[in-house]
Chains A and B, each alone.
Chain A
Amino acid sequence: MKKQQLERLPLRARRSNRDTRIQSLDIIIVAILIVYAFLIIFPFWNAFVISISTEHAYLHSNLLLWPTEIDFSAYQRVFNNNQLWSGFGITMILLIGGTIYQLFFTVITGYALSRKNWTGKNLVMNMILVTMFFGGGMVPYYCLIRDLGMMNTIWVMIIPGAIDTFNMLLMRNYFASLPAEMEESAKIDGANDIIIFVKVFLPLSLPMLATVGLFFAVGNWNSWYNAMLFIPDNKKIWPLQMVLKTMITKVSSTIETGTVTEDFSEGLTMASIFFTIVPMMCFYPFLQRFFVKGIVVGAIKG
């Protein structure tokens, strides 16, 4: 879509019908959406109820829709669990260090590629675009990480994430959409490219930086894939989600036979799940517009 069209796109849909009478169609729509929202919420609720129930209540009540025997000991065990806290610490390192690192390299690359024809720009651009459609696959990548000596180190969760092509192109398109005259006039005033980038373009792109930064932050918060592949032996530097994954796998292998372990691991797992998602649940309603903006701008332009 052209730029002008994009700028006319409001993020919220306008009312498409001026008729304000309530029709039966409205009631059907509301009913379907309420059922759908309920289906989305139910797993959260179910997990929450299990996490604050006793094992006795979990095993003997029929449908645990409402907590019958409230017991917060699962949360107590979560807060006393060293592995979870260590995972939390590692995840915080990824969240802060990793996000800044990714944002820095993604944004400077996007900026450089958004500027007018400098020598070699097209070559670099094509080199990057090829990687979007073709790659070496999982095994050569694994061998590369192994040969670089990054196995079982924390660096494997940070360094290879430096540039995310999709977000980089998002930034590039955003910088390219800002008026080029600003660059020209700053050049006439004697500014070089780095000063123009830092003093002119960065301050203008804060909303986009927030969007891209938040996507990186969520990715780092949810990071487990790299840990599973490349840190199989070093539990000390497992991030939170990887710790959670091993807990869930352990529980699922006991619950499929109907036996429950002594310390009610189902309750502990559900409490740990809440430990990992509560921060996101708190922030999401306020940050939603940034995420929505990212996906809309990215999909329409890219």
Chain B
Amino acid sequence: MELTTIARRNNPFRKLGGKIFRSKYLIMMIVPAVIFYALFCYVPMYGILMAFQDYIPRFGVFGSPWIGFDNFATVFKEPRFWLAFRNTIFISSIKIVISFLGAVTIALLLNELRMRRAKKTIQTIVTFPHFLSWVVVSGFVFSLFSYNGAINSLAEIMGGSRSNFLGDKYFFFGMIFASDIWKEAGWGSIIYLATMAGIPQDQYEAADIDGATRLQKIWHITLPGIKPVAILLLIMSVGGVLSAGFDQVLNLGNNDLIREDVNIIDTYIYYHAITKSGNEGIGTAIGLFKSVISFTLVIIVDRIAKACGERGII
């Protein structure tokens, strides 16, 4: 009798059953999440198979004919794809640098500002644009730079002439960077500002005793203090180097004069594989190409950061 009870108690399946039963409510809470991620994240991953098919919606992923790497070959032969690829790398690498510099500069300025009230007001003003959609921001940009807009009027007053900024693809890139700084730099500064607030005060006090100037304190205490956070954020942004900002480019580049010249990878997929049907396989192939490169980059950068003694993300 006793022996069977012990045996039953030690039965691994019973143990597992008991454990599941004890946490049945937690498991109930997680079921929606499992369904959600399976459906909206893993089914599309399975859909990647379309990249190797001549996808026909009527037949679905099960019935469409397999064509190996033909979709990739088609894409890589397309000059407009490589234009989009170059645009993407160009836009996002410059954006990573300027948004980092912008955010750190603003954080330093706000941190050194000694008027509490003014600091709070300025912070409210400069973080607000983050909460606007790119639709609204593009409305602002178009009205400022349109033929009759404020910038052209200013140019005329200064003795220049009005020009058509919005139809100029070189101007477009400047507009992308400027609007990105306008919208996100203030918001990006918050995290650095919070990190600066966490730097122990005794370091500054010791520097005061040694007679350090404010600039010296910024250089030797504040900047090294935010270095770990800065590296972490830079690592994270490298993973997104092939996503140059779909919302932004789509809204700002949405006119017939420049649309095809300023494509990034995401807008290329949108214009060529979503608004046009029949290109599902090609669109998926580009998406897969993008995911694989991004994923590899994240791994590489993470390894480099860890090798340099910084905290990684994975």
A and B together in one complex: yes
Q: Determine whether B79 belongs to the interface, using a CB cutoff of 8 Å to chain A.
A: no
The answer to whether B114 and A40 touch across the interface, beta carbons within 8 angstroms, is no
Knowing A10-B197, A62-B153, the reply to whether A136 touches B46 (Cβ < 8 A) is: yes
The answer to whether A13 and B197 touch across the interface, beta carbons within 8 angstroms, is yes
Nearest chain B residue, comparing its CB with the CB of A107: B29
Chain B 236-263 near chain A by CB (<8 Å), digits 1 or 0: 0001000000010001001111000000
The answer to whether A144 and B113 touch across the interface, beta carbons within 8 angstroms, is no
Interface-located stretch among B33-41, B81-89, B90-98: B33-41
The answer to whether B30 and A46 touch across the interface, beta carbons within 8 angstroms, is no
The answer to whether B133 and A256 touch across the interface, beta carbons within 8 angstroms, is no
Q: Determine whether A186 belongs to the interface, using a CB cutoff of 8 Å to chain B.
A: no
The answer to whether B284 and A256 touch across the interface, beta carbons within 8 angstroms, is no
The answer to whether A144 and B43 touch across the interface, beta carbons within 8 angstroms, is yes
Q: List residues of chain A with CB within 8 A of the CB of B166.
A: 252, 255-256
Instruction: For the complex formed, measure the closest distance between the CB of A223 and the CB atoms of chain B, giving whole angstroms.
Output: 8
Task: Report the interface size class on chain A.
Answer: 35 or more
The answer to whether A257 and B147 touch across the interface, beta carbons within 8 angstroms, is yes
Instruction: For the complex formed, measure the closest distance between the CB of B294 and the CB atoms of chain A, giving whole angstroms.
Output: 8
Q: Determine whether B170 belongs to the interface, using a CB cutoff of 8 Å to chain A.
A: no
Instruction: For the complex formed, measure the closest distance between the CB of A42 and the CB atoms of chain B, giving whole angstroms.
Output: 8
Q: Of the candidates A9, A41, A127, A277, which one forms a contact with B194 in the assembled complex, judged by CB atoms under 8 Å apart?
A: A9
Knowing A192-B25, A288-B127, the reply to whether A127 touches B37 (Cβ < 8 A) is: yes
Number of residues from B at the complex interface, CB < 8 A: 116
Q: Determine whether A115 belongs to the interface, using a CB cutoff of 8 Å to chain B.
A: yes
Instruction: For the complex formed, measure the closest distance between the CB of B202 and the CB atoms of chain A, giving whole angstroms.
Output: 12
The answer to whether A245 and B135 touch across the interface, beta carbons within 8 angstroms, is yes
Q: Determine whether B301 belongs to the interface, using a CB cutoff of 8 Å to chain A.
A: no
CA distance A253 to B142 in the complex (A): 10
Cβ < 8 Å to B, chain A residues 116-171:
118-121, 124, 127-128, 131, 133-144, 146-147, 160, 162-163, 168
Chain B 20-52 near chain A by CB (<8 Å), digits 1 or 0: 101101111110111011011111111110100
Q: List residues of chain B with CB within 8 A of the CB of A26.
A: 112-114
Q: Of the candidates A30, A140, A222, A285, which one forms a contact with B287 in the assembled complex, judged by CB atoms under 8 Å apart?
A: A140
The answer to whether A244 and B135 touch across the interface, beta carbons within 8 angstroms, is yes
Knowing A118-B23, A160-B40, A162-B32, the reply to whether A256 touches B287 (Cβ < 8 A) is: no
Nearest chain A residue, comparing its CB with the CB of B32: A105
Instruction: For the complex formed, measure the closest distance between the CB of B270 and the CB atoms of chain A, giving whole angstroms.
Output: 7
CA distance A9 to B200 in the complex (A): 10
Q: Of the candidates B29, B232, B287, B314, which one forms a contact with A109 in the assembled complex, judged by CB atoms under 8 Å apart?
A: B29
Q: Of the candidates B27, B140, B222, which one forms a contact with A118 in the assembled complex, judged by CB atoms under 8 Å apart?
A: B27
CA distance A44 to B140 in the complex (A): 7
Q: Determine whether B191 belongs to the interface, using a CB cutoff of 8 Å to chain A.
A: yes
Q: Of the candidates A29, A37, A58, A115, which one forms a contact with B148 in the assembled complex, judged by CB atoms under 8 Å apart?
A: A58
Q: List residues of chain A with CB within 8 A of the CB of B40.
A: 141, 144, 160
The answer to whether A47 and B154 touch across the interface, beta carbons within 8 angstroms, is no
Chain B 104-121 near chain A by CB (<8 Å), digits 1 or 0: 001001111111001000
The answer to whether A256 and B41 touch across the interface, beta carbons within 8 angstroms, is no
Chain A 276-302 near chain B by CB (<8 Å), digits 1 or 0: 110011001100100110011001100
Task: Please give 14 more A-B residue pairs, beta carbons under 8 A apart, in addition to A119-B20, A295-B187.
Answer: A18-B205, A63-B150, A64-B150, A105-B33, A113-B30, A120-B27, A135-B41, A143-B47, A143-B57, A147-B60, A229-B270, A256-B164, A284-B124, A300-B194
Q: What are 5 A-B residue pairs whose CB atoms fall within 8 Å in the complex?
A: A18-B208, A111-B29, A144-B47, A242-B135, A273-B139
